Amino acid sequence: MKKELGLLIGFVLLVVAMAELIGMQFITLGNTTITVLPLVFSVLAAMLLGLPMVRKGILATIYSKGNIQFSAKYLLYIMLPLMARYGADVAPRLREILTVGWVFLFQELGNVGTVLLGLPVAIMLGLRREAIGATLGLGREGELAYISEKYTLDSPEGRGVLSLYLIGTLFGSIFFSIFAPIMAGFGLDYRALAMSSGVGSASMMTAASSSLIALMPENETTIAAYAAASQLLTSFIGTYTMVFVAVPLQRFMYNLLTGGSRRGKEAA
């Protein structure tokens, strides 16, 4: 076990180092700049090397069942330093942020959008218990923690939230890096776009705010502060919104959409 864990840590460090060497890449398409973060490269590399046809020899040891369970169990702990970083970005512009604080709170209502829009689609596609993890939110740290504590990551609900977590990491940051500049092109205020960058995902927030900064470098400090404040509030207040609003709403809708079956009630 110790040998497997040592290989896993060494492998992770190697993948992260390679991703950092590649660095943040900017792809320009007309007036839009797509931001591809090192995080995307590292996750993509780890996924590709974990495919069954590739997972041979030393890779089979690295991707052992014990290492996979260890990674799932301690995934949340590596997210904690991000909270400290958000606080450091917010503090210098706290007075300015407080003047529009109610707007930050209002945006938290958007956290139930995944339940209202995503759950019916997931049920229609044939998902059942997986839909609970997949549509509770954007599948980021808060949802990952809630689902892992209530159902474990080895459950269908856990597979649902993990799938969204990986999809969001790979494609969410690319989508947000495109979407934010497009909205700026329609004349939306850069501060509003910076606030909307904080959706609970560090990679998506970074991609969106980095694209805005590339368009408006003179407003870099304001964009970074507003995005970080929004992200911080989403991470904290969004958790309470999830527990007290999204979860009961999802339970009601799930039982309604599945016909109130015994299986559906047990899953919700």
Q: Which of 24-33, 180-189, 209-218, 257-266 has the lowest mean pLDDT?
A: 257-266
Write the burial class of residue 142 (CB in 10 Å: 0-12 exposed, 13-18 middle, 19+ buried). buried
> Can you give the C-alpha Rg of the chain in angstroms?
20
Q: Please tell me the predicted confidence (pLDDT) of residue 239.
A: 75
Write the burial class of residue 202 (CB in 10 Å: 0-12 exposed, 13-18 middle, 19+ buried). buried
Pair of tokens at residue 154: 């080895």
Specify whether 95 is located in the same domain as 62: no
Specify whether 61 is located in the same domain as 114: no
Place of tokens 């969410």: 172
Let me know the angle formed at the C-alpha of 101 by 98 and 106, rounded to the nearest 5 degrees.
175
Specify whether 224 is located in the same domain as 253: yes
Specify whether 68 is located in the same domain as 201: no
Nearest to 96 by CA among 198, 262, 7, 226: 226
Specify whether 139 is located in the same domain as 178: yes
Q: Please tell me the predicted confidence (pLDDT) of residue 233.
A: 75
pTM of the entire structure?
0.67
Specify whether 104 is located in the same domain as 174: yes
Specify whether 91 is located in the same domain as 70: no
The tens digit of pLDDT for each residue in 119-155 reads: 999 999 988 899 999 998 876 777 877 888 888 877 8
Average pLDDT over residues 40-47: 84
| Cβ neighbours around 118 below 10 Å, total | 18
Residue 69 has pLDDT above 50, yes or no: yes
Instruction: Kindly state whether residue 94 falls inside one of the protein's structural domains.
Output: yes
Q: Please tell me the predicted confidence (pLDDT) of residue 18.
A: 93
- The tally of domains found in the chain comes to 2
Structural domain range at position 8: 1-25+36-75
Angstrom distance (rounded) from CA 179 to CA 177: 6
Specify whether 124 is located in the same domain as 69: no
- Helices 220-241 & 80-90, crossing angle to 10 degrees? 130
Angstrom distance (rounded) from CA 52 to CA 111: 36
Q: Please tell me the predicted confidence (pLDDT) of residue 21.
A: 93
Q: How far is CA 115 from CA 65, 80, 138, 267, in A?
A: 32, 26, 10, 15
Average pLDDT over residues 169-194: 81
Nearest to 244 by CA among 112, 101, 104, 110: 112
Instruction: Kindly state whether residue 81 falls inside one of the protein's structural domains.
Output: no
Q: How far is CA 137 from CA 41, 81, 105, 218, 229, in A?
A: 24, 22, 17, 33, 19
More confident site: 172 or 10:
10
Instruction: Kindly state whether residue 56 falls inside one of the protein's structural domains.
Output: yes
Beta strands in 122-226 (DSSP E): none
Angstrom distance (rounded) from CA 250 to CA 137: 10
Instruction: Kindly state whether residue 80 falls inside one of the protein's structural domains.
Output: no
The tens digit of pLDDT for each residue in 153-166 reads: 778 998 898 888 87
Pair of tokens at residue 81: 């330093």
Q: Please tell me the predicted confidence (pLDDT) of residue 33.
A: 66
Specify whether 140 is located in the same domain as 21: no
Residue 224 has pLDDT above 60, yes or no: yes
DSSP H/E element including 197? none
| Mean pLDDT score of the chain | 80
| Cβ neighbours around 133 below 10 Å, total | 30
Specify whether 47 is located in the same domain as 96: no
Instruction: Kindly state whether residue 31 falls inside one of the protein's structural domains.
Output: no
Pair of tokens at residue 64: 């052992």
Let me know the angle formed at the C-alpha of 148 by 146 and 150, rounded to the nearest 5 degrees.
65
Is 167 in contact with 139 (CB distance < 8 Å)? yes
Angstrom distance (rounded) from CA 133 to CA 158: 6
Specify whether 67 is located in the same domain as 97: no
Q: Please tell me the predicted confidence (pLDDT) of residue 266.
A: 46
CB contact set of 45 (below 8 Å; sequence gap of 6+) = 15, 18, 19
Pair of tokens at residue 230: 């929004």
How sure is the predictor about 38, in pLDDT bands with cuts at 50, 70 and 90?
confident
Specify whether 110 is located in the same domain as 213: yes
